[in-house]
A and B are shown apart, each in its own frame.
Chain A
Amino acid sequence: MAEPSPAPPIEPPPTPKTSRPIHTLPPPFSHDKLVPITQGAEALVYKTTFLTPNTPVVVKYRPPKPYRHPTLDKRLTKQRLLAEARSLVRCRKEGIKVPAVLGADWDEGWLVLEYVEGDTVRRVLDGWAHDVEEAKKSGDGSDGVKEREEAMLDLMTRVGREVAKLHELGVCHGDLTTSNLMLRQEDKAQTEDCAQPPLPSGDIYLIDFGLTTASIQEEDKAVDLYVLERAFAATHPAAEPLFQEVLRAYGESSKSAKGVLRKLEGVRMRGRKRSMLG
């Protein structure tokens, strides 16, 4: 019996031609004026100036995906960027602290956002956890440590409130990690030359609205909180009580928050089950 002839090997699709290298931004941007911040899977983020030589901004560029059909790719990129910009503008209109949208080209895939000066909450937490360790080693329980801890708790209160405000509006962030929360630092000069690490004061800004959805479902909001909880847990065991303060402030901020917190329990259970299954 003749062997059935094997199926021909699957050829990878040819890389579609684009007019410029994938990681090169379209005009008018040129790389000598862009300082890279991050290069995620979805977007390249740069710092540059816009409108005036002393207005810092962030340019978020979604490069074309070579494995997608160019027409489909363009349409998807445009949809995502638009959704992100619309969420940001809507939030800003409602007084939620998010970067302002200063410009965009939906067809070319870029978005210009107000630059938020400061650190991500992730970095603030890491710095704090590190100092807690150090203090433990040296047996230092001085007032400075206490003061710092209080400032951290206060920071958590503000995080809880800001997230509650967002949810009150019927908006779910979709990727609420500690990297997507920023602590705005207004006066850099003031804090830079002190010996002590600066106390974490300043407004909390929510960033990265790339996965944001409009939802009034308690379940969706609870997932936001769950994602944030996991991000805290991944930082340091000492961050656990801090997250309790986020939840407390969140729960106090609105009537509907109580229901979300109840849902959070169920979301946690399912999260655990899933991780046990691997």
Chain B
Amino acid sequence: MALVRTFTLPHYEQYPVQIALFKNLKNTSYIRSQLLEANPDFDYAFLDAEMILSPTHLLTATFLSLHAILTARQKTRTPHSELVFRLSPNNNIGESYKKFGLGPHTTNLIAVKYPLTSKQADSVAPNEHKVWDDDGSVTNQSVSEHLGRVVEGECVKIGEEGWELGAVCDVERVRKAYKVNGGGGKKGKKGAADGDDDKKDERKELESVILGIMTLKGS
């Protein structure tokens, strides 16, 4: 059994989102092969955890993607691809997967599962929006069970606030992906006392800019 945390977003309470974090991933290439084969059992958003700055970062993209899907304005084929797309600052889906998805060298993984299903066939015309409905079969239990079976790695327990989701972030990579320089703002000269508090503030600043960039994307 994997340790999965259920996140309930205010205003979209009826769509609880299941999230799990794995460190030291052992079977990256196996999972990737299942994704390439489009194995329906692997219908998740598999993310490179190093590209997630904080729980707020991930949950903002989650909210934006859920909203796009549930108001039939998504830009990609599935809810999970929409999440990967919403995380990215640019409009190229391939690029989004390359930056935020599970890559060949990913060792820290975040798996996200939406409780959504579509009765429509995949063959919906490309410019038509599929309708997605509540999928009651997706539960914390079902996701824990499945991920526990297929993911080989060290599953990290996620606390209520979800801070663990930003714990393995590679801040410089994130900064580069969103093209935000400096401390998220023009900082004054930095003294020697560049303590933990400063680092925290800096991350918070970076986060607040990134949330804006994600919101503005495609506008």
Q: Which residues of A contact B (CB under 8 A)?
A: 27-30, 33, 48-53, 55, 82, 85-86, 88-89, 92-96, 100-108, 114
Contact = CB atoms under 8 A, between A and B. Distances in A.
A96 B56 contact: no
A82 B60 contact: no
A95 B187 contact: yes
Interface of B: 7-12, 55-56, 59-60, 63-64, 67, 70-71, 73, 161-162, 180, 182-187, 205, 208-209, 211-213, 215-216, 219
A209 B219 CA distance: 18
B55 to A, nearest CB: 8
A106 B162 CA distance: 29
Contacts of B208: 92, 100, 114
B212 A52 contact: no
Contact of A85 (B56, B182, B212): B212
B10 A50 contact: yes
A27 B63 contact: no
5 contacts: A52-B59, A53-B8, A55-B56, A85-B219, A101-B212
Given A49-B10, A88-B212, A96 B63 contact: no
B67 A105 contact: yes
Given A93-B180, A95-B185, A103 B215 contact: yes
Sorted nearest first, the 8 A-B pairs with minimum C-beta distance are A95-B185, A89-B212, A100-B208, A101-B212, A28-B11, A51-B59, A49-B10, A95-B186
Contacts of B60: 51, 102-103
B185 A94 contact: yes
A56 to B, nearest CB: 10
Contact of A100 (B12, B59, B211): B211
Nearest to A107: B73
B40 to A, nearest CB: 28
Contacts of A95: 182-187, 205
Contacts of A103: 60, 63-64, 67, 211, 215
B184 A50 contact: no
A161 to B, nearest CB: 12
Contacts of B71: 27, 105, 108
B219 A50 contact: no
A217 B134 CA distance: 54
Given A48-B11, A89-B212, A95-B186, 14 more contacts: A48-B10, A50-B63, A51-B56, A52-B162, A53-B10, A92-B209, A93-B212, A94-B185, A95-B184, A100-B212, A101-B211, A103-B60, A103-B215, A104-B216
Contacts of B64: 103
A93 B216 CA distance: 13
